[in-house]
A = this chain, B = another copy of it.
Amino acid sequence: MSVTYKAPLRDMEFVYYELLGGQDINQLPGYEDAEPDTIKAILEEAAKFAETVFLPLNQSGDEQACQLNDCVVTVPDGFKDAYDQFCEGGWTALTEDPIYGGMGLPYSVSVMMSEMLSATNQSLAMYAGLTHGAAKAIHACGSDEQRKTYLPKFADGSWSGTMCLTEAQCGTDLGLIQTKAIPNEKGSHNLTGTKIFISAGEHELTDNIIHLVLARLPDAPPGIKGISLFLVPKYLFDADCNIGDRNPVTCGAIEHKMGIKGSATCVINMDDAEGYMIGTEHKGMQAMFVMMNSARLGTGIQGLAAGEQAYQGAVEYARDRVQMRSLTGVKYPDKKADPIIVHPDVRRMLLTIRAYTEGCRAMTYWIAQELDQFAKNPDADRREEADDFASLLTPVIKAFCSDTGFDSTNLGVQVYGGHGYISEHGMEQFVRDARIAQLYEGTNGIQALDLVGRKMAMHNGRLVKRFFTKIGEFIAQENQNESLAEFIKPLVNSFSHLQQATGWIAKHAAKNPDHAGGASVDFLRIFGLVTVGYMWVRMVKIAQENQQGSDAHFYKAKIKTGRFYMQKLLPQTSSLLASIEAGSDSLMEFDEAYF
């Protein structure tokens, strides 16, 4: 028995429309085509595609893994055909700019597609996923000619993109980059150096691969202020994009890793490889951040998708597997034992996965829609607000969703008992695949530092003030709503923990920044718990208003899952606050030699 998957379209639509008002997104200039019926049709097609094309290759892709022979990477069987179908279906063009061959649909629509693709085949989804970020970076920071050259190729999927940041001596600390870019006679640059951990760095799925490479010019100042960004194609090409000579940018090795084995993680060697600068000299990090923010949200989506996979796999097993009788008496007398779904602790595990997953979906889709507002809303104030929310919550989404996603895959295994450890059932693969999301695109510890160190301080705390005001207004508005009281009360409680934690950090970090560093991971977790709690109360409110209708089932489940979240998961904030308020002396006073 291996795991199946049905795209959670009902819940996606609930969040996208009923919670977030996505039916109005087509009123934004440029998104006129994003009508509810169109989006609905797209989602249904994406669901079918994910379920029938991506899912069947997930387990076999893990077993076969990628292979490297003579600098050529062979992807698992079926991946090439699936990728071709992905391009033919127009999926690579979904959100790209219509000027360059894209469909120009909102980013938030692609997020739902990404969730389905990642849930059904995380490795395969990554080949397409990074190209979008490369396109965004070129769109934002490239020259007009660069846009015209590359973006149509990305939109039709015939070329793909990579992000080449990491080197052996630096991941987090990109100021240590050593790859060199020397101006040449042609007006371009010759790049030499070695990059590691390059996802989709080499493969034969596309006609060309465009590496976005961080490197140093000869006169570059040291550190992070001396980094420039270059486009380094696998194959050189002429003015009409006809493929020419191989550029000396080659795959020296692929990594053997815990999971996402169908995704090629490459060592990329450049030996005087020709490259073309994007944007301004020494300002490469700006363009890279465009790409990185997109990748960070994408990583959060992987966590969310992992939770959904794990939930569906675990529920199926919990209904099917019979073992022991219910503590309150036999529930299925015709069976030799009761299905394990009757046992309270199995329900605890299932509801934990579900409450995190649905809550993370709401949080992630909200920020996706905010990014669409930021992109297209004519009102500058609204754009600023949207940008503030997105900037503040990007590290939270990346870290919180990947943490809860990983925990969810482990709960999924736990529901299976010993069978969860056996590869054929598919559950342990989810654990191995999900683990990467806590590590790449900036470890979750780095996300926490981004939150406490950069985002909290940005514009004199405007981002966080705006966010707290939003939650505070919602609480004030619903405080007299009796039917919501049991949900509002724990939100108020945990929101006060978040505010106290914020105050503690503000007060102590000024004196000693290690207090912020020591508190950062606990703080990000409180932030995620409260944000998801806020989304849950909003969802419950809508569900309460609809529970008499034809879809009562769905809304009642929503209310009950929300109740579980508020009662059983949200209380974590009190312990996290206690840990933060204990300070970081116990961390920093531990002599280095004692470790």
Q: Chain A: residues with CB nearer than 8 A to chain B?
A: 166, 169-173, 176, 197, 255-259, 315, 318-319, 322-324, 326-328, 336-337, 341-351, 354, 406, 410, 413-414, 417-424, 428, 431-432, 435-436, 438-440, 443-445, 448-449, 512-514, 516-518, 520-521, 553, 556-557, 560-561, 563-564, 567-569, 571-576, 578-579, 582-584, 586-595
Contacts and interface: CB of A to CB of B under 8 A. Distances in A.
A350 B445 CA distance: 13
Contact of A414 (B326, B431, B445, B573): B445
B421 A431 contact: no
Contacts of A449: 345
Given A345-B448, A567-B582, A418 B431 contact: no
A239 to B, nearest CB: 38
Contacts of A445: 345-346, 349, 414
Contacts of A588: 344, 347
Contacts of A513: 327-328
B417 A594 contact: no
A414 B351 contact: no
Nearest to A514: B344
A166 B582 CA distance: 46
A318 B594 CA distance: 13
Q: How many copies does the complex hold?
A: 2
A interface majority secondary structure: helix
Given A413-B439, A557-B590, 14 more contacts: A176-B323, A256-B423, A258-B432, A319-B595, A326-B514, A327-B514, A344-B518, A344-B584, A344-B588, A410-B435, A557-B594, A569-B579, A571-B582, A575-B575
A553 B418 contact: no
A326 B513 CA distance: 9
Contacts of A257: 421-423, 428
12 contacts: A170-B323, A172-B324, A173-B323, A257-B421, A319-B592, A328-B514, A344-B520, A418-B439, A431-B435, A556-B591, A560-B591, A567-B583
Contacts of A560: 586, 589-591, 594
A346 B569 CA distance: 26
A432 to B, nearest CB: 7
A573 B553 CA distance: 35
A355 to B, nearest CB: 10
B595 A197 contact: no
A553 B593 contact: yes
A394 B447 CA distance: 39
A571 B575 contact: yes
Given A341-B592, A347-B588, A445-B345, A258 B423 contact: yes
B421 A436 contact: yes
Given A557-B590, A571-B575, A579-B568, A258 B421 contact: yes
A171 B323 contact: yes
Nearest to A416: B439
From A197, A564, A571, name the one whose CB has the most chain B CB atoms within 10 angstroms.
Answer: A571
3 cross-chain pairs, A with B, having the tightest CB-CB distances, nearest first: A344-B517, A571-B578, A344-B518
Contact of A571 (B259, B579, B587, B591): B579
